[in-house]
Structure 1
Amino acid sequence: MQGVWRELAGLILPVACAGCGRPRTELCGECRRALARDGRGARRVRPRPEPAGLPRVWAGAPYADEVRAVLLAHKERGALRLAGPLGEVLAGAVRGLRPGGGPLPLVPVPSARRSVAGRGHDPVRRIALAAAGALRKAGEGAGARVLPVLRQRRPVADQAGLSARQRLVNVTGAVEVRGGAARLLTGQPVVLVDDLVTTGATLAEAARAITAAGGRVTGAAVVAAPGSAFEIDVHRAVDRGMEFPHGR
């Protein structure tokens, strides 16, 4: 219920811009334009070291400044209306992954049930729905839809602070296709989507689950990735204590 209460409170209480702190707006025009600019600069992401089975990954923006602040506000503080502008950035990553190829169904990386219950919403699914809407609005076909077919089959530890190796061990075998959903994936090419990539371990595990169910992952698109050139030095990012949303 956290997200719902925030939405109701925002109607009667002063709010501050998630990007810069400017009062009386959840996202000011300047920060909204900054996100739009970042969303037009989608680029290929290559974590180092790269986990086995990681599909091609494109990120819509660097995980810094307004993008980082808005992602954290949406995911950790329940600012639900920020899903729209974040979805626009994710749509840019999908376009970068498939230039001229048309959209494919988007499969969100699953969140833990306890995380969804604690936050009052599923942030990745919400952003994915916004991205699909943005792609359809741009006239990019009815194929821009969301297939929430993945779930966590066992609990995993919070990824924050774990090394690349620890993250890989933490998520291995943790994701599966929901019962009865495999029929939606048989022979179906899909794009995995997430809000953030660091080591790539979670995306690799999600791709494994899709492939095991008979689907085909053509790539992955994320809102953001750390690193100005999107070449992620995983050890450096973790060692610097960069603030990441919990659970990834």
Structure 2
Amino acid sequence: MPLVLRPAIAVALRGALAAVSPVSCAGCGAPDLEVCDSCRLLLRPRPVEAVHAGLRVVTALRYEFEVREAVLAYKQRGRLRLAAELGPALRAAVEVALPAGSPPTALVAVPPSPSGRRRRGWDPVTTLARAARVSASPGVLVVRPGRSSSQKRLDREQRARARRGSLRCRVDLTGHRVVVLDDVLTTGSTVQEARRALEDAGAEVVAAVCLASTPLASHAAS
């Protein structure tokens, strides 16, 4: 029987391993630095607005090269300290989506899949939101049982079909303005499914904010 660690224990073990492991830049691999100066410049926010299937989407970074490596190091390799490096970019995108004077609007985080949560022991989007000092609401959206298979090898249409109906909203949001919060925009299927679930619960979804977008997502914007 495989050993399954509780989330808190898994996070603690990753932190202990990080403390004794050699440190290298999360973006380019330069030794002895969490993030080198050159890669830190690449992580400076450059918010871009686009429209995906009628939904306004704001992203802060281009998900490629060193930026992609840094996001993967944070999300997949458990380098949680990178949240402090990535957080300001997410905050900048939120500020573009919701400028000063905007009506009250809730930020709702896209949830990790159950398998992703078990594997990591933590939630990448809400952790990043805390580092960005923005108030995101975790647990509003949940993944329906049996709808958490990997989509990495799927094309745009396959992802959309796989995502359809995969999320549900646990609360009544009638009359509430909402912005969807996610980490990486690839095809847009995840934020569109979040939008559907939130609108089914009565929300007015005014935008989505993502830390980074792939070149594919940027090309597909209309």
Question: 1:112, 1:231 → 2: CA distance?
Answer: 24
Alpha-carbon distance between aligned partners in 2 of 1:204 and 1:108, rounded to the nearest angstrom: 13
What is the aligned partner in structure 1 of residue 127 from structure 2? 126
Equivalent residue number for residue 39 of structure 2: 31
Partner of 1:163: 155
- Per-residue CA shift, 1:76-128, capped at 9, x if unaligned? 10111111222211111112223334573321111111111111211112112
**Which of 23, 45, 49 is 1:44 aligned to?**
49
Which residue of the other structure, out of 182, 189, 195, is the alignment partner of 1:194? 182
| Secondary structure of the structure 1 residue equivalent to 2:55 | coil
Q: Alignment RMSD, CA only?
A: 2.1
Partner of 2:24: 16
| Deviation string, structure 1 residues 21-53 (Cα, Å, up to 9, x no partner) | 1222222233223212xx1x1011345xx4xxx
Kindly provide the amino acid, as one letter, of the partner of residue 116 in structure 2. Answer: S
Please tell me the residue identity of whatever aligns with 2:112: S
Residue 238 (structure 1) aligns with: none
Could you tell me the percent identity over the aligned residues?
A: 38
Question: In structure 2, what residue type is equivalent to 1:197?
Answer: L
Which residue pairs with 2:4 in the alignment?
none
Q: One-letter code of the match for 1:80?
A: L
CA distance in 2, matches of 1:2, 1:72: 18
User: Normalising to structure 2: TM-score of the pair?
Assistant: 0.86
Decide whether the 8 Å contact of 2:109 with 2:182 is kept in 1: yes
| C-alpha distance in structure 2 between counterparts of 1:113 and 1:129, whole Å | 21
Higher strand proportion (structure 1 or 2): 2
Assess if the C-alpha contact under 8 Å between 1:177 and 1:213 holds in 2.
Answer: yes
Gaps of 5+ in 2: 1-8
TM-score, normalised to structure 1's length? 0.77
Question: Greater relative contact order (Cα 8 A, min sep 6): structure 1 or 2?
Answer: 1
1:232 has 2:205 as partner? no
Match of 2:194, SS state, is helix
Match of 1:91 in 2: 91
**Structure 2: how far apart are the matches of 1:172 and 1:13?**
41
Say if 2:105 and 2:176, in contact at 8 Å, map to a contact too. no
Aligned residues: 210
Query: What corresponds to 1:246 in structure 2?
Result: none
Q: Does structure 2 retain, via aligned residues, the 8 Å contact 1:104–1:145?
A: no
Amino acid across the alignment from 1:104:
T
1:29–1:105: structure 2 CA closer, same or farther, 3 Å change rule? Answer: farther
Question: Which of 206, 210, 215 is equivalent to 2:194?
Answer: 206
